[in-house]
Amino acid sequence: MKADEFLKALEEVAEEKKIDKEYILSAMVLALTSAYKKNFVQATNVRVDINSETGEIKVFAQYIVVEKVENKLTEISLEEAQKINPKLNLGDIYEKEVTPADFGRVAAQTAKQVIIQKIKEAERESITQEFIDQEGELVTGTVNRKDNVNYYVNLGRTDAILPRSETINNEEFPTGKRIKVYLFKVEPTSKGVLLLLSRSHFGFVRRLFEREVPEIFDGTVELKAIARDAGSRTKIAVLSNKDGVDPVGTCIGPKGERINAILKELNGEKIDVVEWDKDPKVFIANALKPATVLSVDILDEKEKQALVIVSDDQLSLAIGKKGQNARLASRLTSYRIDIKTENEAEKQEENE
């Protein structure tokens, strides 16, 4: 490849892939230096020069000016150096052009390798920058392919991985289907950018509410806490930042339109929307809905332990199937909740 052809090709690639030409040239200098030592003289100190205007490539052997030469490949005597250039002194570097006749072939091969490598690096960096700002956000993609472990979802410039373990109740998606997913991890690797998706992450529900409820998106209603058993039940706690706005009703929407849109995306997963309160007693009582609570006693505020009293007919509802309602309420409020009936509480007091 001629110098001008090489430079033209380099400029075209740099323009097309949006890579700085000087960035590629500096990488080529390092690669060509290594290539010269590998293919020609390994022990020589060399400097490779690429003319950014013409594309011409030259190789210069570098010699340190010394009093007595001990290594002919890297040193030159002061006497010999001053015969060439009287201005050279001890410790100076004398350069001699040693460009091999067939170095153009080596340069062409090296240029191809460097450009391919830099294109990959630049594209990886570009994709990373594009998606790093979307980490923790809801994105939409197309199922490109699938296997027994993962779905591979195309997000435009690259594919992301949706592990089957991160789906809702092992839901099945056909190839070509557009799906909403939560981008929970963006990680650059040596092979590219790893994008991990989820539909079982609690953040997926949070972002769905922000999309369906404008008042959450604009801050009128604040989503304070969320606890989720993916595919089964989710509890969210909301607070109104504006007088006259019912936070729970706002999330439910007229005739349940807003909550139904979210439920449809979650394949029937149940959602309890409760009102958050700065008073932990009130918040814990709300969190245990749909059960009706008689009283809440904070046993240890520092250790976050609470005793809840319910009537006999509300005990199973408060605890929930396999303890789910109590477990989610505990996670939502960050309190360890002990639930007892009135009779159980009275017997305990009598025994004490």
pLDDT single digits (tens) 9-20: 777 777 776 677
Report d(CA 280, CA 294) in Å as an integer. Answer: 15
- 215: Cβ contacts below 8 Å, ≥ 6 apart: 221, 245, 250
Report d(CA 107, CA 177) in Å as an integer. Answer: 47
User: For residues 168 and 350, which has the higher predicted lDDT (pLDDT)?
Assistant: 168
For residues 203-227, average pLDDT: 96
User: For residues 35 and 209, which has the higher predicted lDDT (pLDDT)?
Assistant: 209
C-alpha Rg value of the chain to the nearest Å: 34
Q: What band does 30 get if pLDDT is binned at 50, 70 and 90?
A: confident
Report d(CA 132, CA 194) in Å as an integer. Answer: 11
Q: What pLDDT score does 172 carry?
A: 94
Q: Could you give the C-alpha distances from 17 to 77, 124, 194, in angstroms and in order?
A: 48, 12, 21
Average pLDDT across the chain, whole number: 89
pLDDT single digits (tens) 262-315: 999 998 899 999 999 999 999 999 999 999 999 999 999 999 999 999 999 999
Report d(CA 302, CA 287) in Å as an integer. Answer: 20
Q: What band does 73 get if pLDDT is binned at 50, 70 and 90?
A: confident
Q: What pLDDT score does 55 carry?
A: 78
pLDDT single digits (tens) 196-211: 999 999 999 999 999 9
Residue 103 has pLDDT above 80, yes or no: no
Q: What pLDDT score does 4 carry?
A: 66
Residue 5 has pLDDT above 80, yes or no: no
Q: What pLDDT score does 42 carry?
A: 65
Q: What pLDDT score does 12 carry?
A: 77
| Residues linked to residue 65 through DSSP beta bridges, in sequence order | 76
Report d(CA 325, CA 195) in Å as an integer. Answer: 33
Residue 347 has pLDDT above 70, yes or no: yes
Residue 53 has pLDDT above 90, yes or no: no
Q: What pLDDT score does 117 carry?
A: 78
Q: What band does 123 get if pLDDT is binned at 50, 70 and 90?
A: confident
Report d(CA 172, CA 51) in Å as an integer. Answer: 57
pTM over 0.85: no
Residue 3 has pLDDT above 70, yes or no: no
Q: What band does 1 get if pLDDT is binned at 50, 70 and 90?
A: low
Please, is 78 exposed, middle or buried when counting C-beta atoms within 10 Å of its C-beta (0-12, 13-18, 19+)?
A: middle
Report d(CA 107, CA 114) in Å as an integer. Answer: 10
User: In order of start, what are the domains of the chain with their CATH numbers?
Assistant: 3-130 (3.30.1480.10), 133-198 (2.40.50.140), 201-276 (3.30.300.20), 279-352 (3.30.300.20)
